[in-house]
Amino acid sequence: MNELERVAERSARGSLHLFLGNFLSEIINAVGVVIVARMLTPGEYGVLGLSFVLPGIFVMFTFWGIGSALTRFLARYETRGMWDQARSIIRIGYLFRAATACLISALLFLGAEFLAAVVLMRPDMAGLVRLTSVLVVFQSLYNTSASIFYGTGRMDIMAVLMVVQSVVKTTSSYLFLVWGYGVLGAVIGHILGFGVVTTASVILTVWYTRGKEASTEAMSEEVSINEMLRFGFPLFIGSLIGNLGAKYQGLLLAWFASDAAIGNLNIANKFRSLVTLFTVPISTVVYPAFSKFDYREQPGEMERLFEVSVRYATLLVFPAVALITILSQDFVYFLFDPRYSLAPFLLALSLLQFLGVGLGSISIYKFLNSQGDTVTTFRLNLVNVGIRVAVSTVLTWQLGVPGLLLGLFISELLGRAFNIFVVYQRYGVRIEVAHTVRVVAFSAVSALSTYAALKWLNLPSNLANLTVGAVTFLASCMVLAPLIGAIRDSDIQNISRIMRREPLLNPIVSPLLRIEERIISLRSGKREQE
């Protein structure tokens, strides 16, 4: 197995671990949301949500791109056995983020009364703002630990920490509510969740890196805080601009949309997380994978890794989008209420944005950042935000919430098409267009056949539709994907090799892979006869 194959396999396993961690934590969080929402009044639940607005804003100013710098440099150090240098930049990263977070947290604590009155327009929330100011420190250090584990390839540790955080938050919030602490108890439970995993993550970082011996052949390559800031600052500014663009979308809704339409959109957005269960793990693992290579020295490996990252992201995301779209009404009506009649349509529109994955939306920025080209990332991000603001403003003004979602879709395609053109011009990397077309084909046909089957069966409940629809769609995908060449024998072999190292999942996945192999062999046999 060459270096590229080893990195690709390790990244795939890391993505699987993060998917499982995200999936379990989302389930636990969903249970927690239901429990807390039922034990509080709607007004109290609204105050709970507002309690985390200011910490979420203030923590943005602790990033400074240090996390991205840590992941990039650690990925290279881990590959080369440069553990002395790795431990050095870990100390630098923790100290810088801790000092910055403590300063920002102190500003939030001291300005609590003013911010509660002016920003939240609720002076009585000053006490909660002071309490939640500690979240700035916890979240900053936790994100630093996450960057370290991503850089060193320990996605399994991060997956466990995600689940632990959800369990502690849900359990402690429930107990404090039972003990009669109301909103204060739910806030304390949330803080405890972050406090426990932050402490555990720092301890685990020290434990994991302490026993690593530096390679005798490792070259000396010291990285200072100035170098980390030079690398990360464009990313920080780009992220800040992107977040401001997201806040502008909220203003557009306030200006041009009705309260009922916004409520339907909020319901639709809750189901978008089903797709992010796939996109977030992939986006997380490709960055350290790219960082292990230098394009100037290994252009062939980088080009192939970029192509593979887009290929497998498309293969996972497009079918998920098609399935959720075709079952959107049953999802919404089963978990919420038929009164949210606009939500299924808005959900389908919002999912269109994920089609940008086929144009490399998950991989482009990660590729550029891994090569230290953060200035190009900043420029592309600026162009994307500009396109999004211009298109979304016009369409939201004319069409309301559907116009906003349509504008986000159009700007996503335009922006990503421009991005892939720029990256191709600079680095020569490209996407596998033929494979993307095949994935679109089998996803669309599977979705249409599922829709027709459900209409013909006319099942009595939304739950029955969800169950039968999911099974029908997955069965159709399993047949069509290998038949049209969207899944190849090499893909099956790669998945099999990964699953052999996952004893809990292998017994479930292996029979499905054997079915895929038989379909591929039948297709190959027909070709030989022709």
The tens digit of pLDDT for each residue in 479-495 reads 898 888 888 887 787 77
Determine the pLDDT at residue 471. 92
pLDDT of residue 224: 66
Q: Coil, helix or strand for 219? A: coil
| pLDDT greater at residue 336 or residue 510 | 510
The answer to whether the beta carbons of residues 202 and 138 sit under 8 Å apart is: no
Distance CA(50)–CA(44), nearest Å, equals 10
The label of the residue with tokens 């298109």 reads: 391
- C-alpha span between 352 and 404 (Å, rounded): 12
Predicted confidence band of residue 263 (pLDDT cuts 50, 70, 90): low
Note the pLDDT of residue 502: 67
pLDDT of amino acid 2: 57
Residue-wise pLDDT for 337-375, tens only, equals 677 778 888 888 888 888 888 888 888 888 888 888 888
427-443 average pLDDT score: 87
Structural tokens at position 28: 């636990």
pLDDT over 90 for what percent of the chain?
Answer: 14
Q: By mean pLDDT, which of 180-189, 255-264, 277-286 is the weakest?
A: 255-264
Q: Where are the domains of the chain?
A: 1-210
Q: 76 is written with which tokens? A: 């290279």
- Residue in the block written with tokens 């070709």: 527
Q: What is the pLDDT of residue 221?
A: 54
- Nearest CA to 285 among 93, 151, 419? 151
DSSP 8-state secondary structure symbol assigned to residue 198:
H
Residue type at position 228: M
pLDDT digits (tens, 9 = 90+) for 50-88: 788 788 888 888 888 888 888 888 877 877 777 777 888
User: For residue 318, what are the contacts with CB-CB under 8 A and spacing of at least 6?
Assistant: 354, 355, 357, 358, 439, 440, 443
Residue-averaged pLDDT of the chain: 82
526 three-state secondary structure:
helix
For the chain, the straight-line distance linking the first and the last C-alpha, in angstroms and rounded, comes to 34
Length of the chain equals 530
In angstroms and rounded to an integer, the radius of gyration of the C-alpha atoms of the chain is: 24
How confident is the model over 185-215, as pLDDT tens digits?
Answer: 888 999 999 999 999 998 888 888 776 665 5
pLDDT at 525 over 70: no
The string of DSSP codes covering 402-456 is HHHHHHHHHHHHHHHHHHHHHHHHHH-----HHHHHHHHHHHHHHHHHHHHHHHH
- pLDDT value for 42: 64
Q: What is the pLDDT of residue 4?
A: 59
Q: Percentage of the chain surpassing pLDDT 70?
A: 89
Question: 460-516: per-residue pLDDT in tens?
Answer: 888 899 999 999 999 998 889 888 888 888 778 777 776 676 676 777 778 887 888
Mean pLDDT of 162-176: 91
Structure confidence by residue, pLDDT tens digits, 209-245: 776 665 545 455 556 677 777 777 787 777 777 777 7
d(Cα 89, Cα 223) in Å, to the nearest integer?
7
* Closest by CA position to 308, among listed 281, 342, 282, 276: 282
pTM of structure: 0.76
Point out the least confidently predicted range of 86-90, 108-112, 235-239, 409-413: 235-239
- State the chain's maximal CA–CA distance in angstroms: 79
Q: Taking 70 as the threshold, does the pLDDT of residue 251 lie above it?
A: no
3-state helix, strand, coil in the chain (%, to 5): 85, 0, 15
Residue 223 pLDDT = 63
Rounded to the nearest 10 degrees, the angle between the axes of helix 328-335 and helix 343-351 is 130
pLDDT tier for residue 135 given thresholds of 50, 70 and 90: very high
The per-residue pLDDT for 284 is 76
Work out the pLDDT band at 302, boundaries 50, 70, 90.
confident
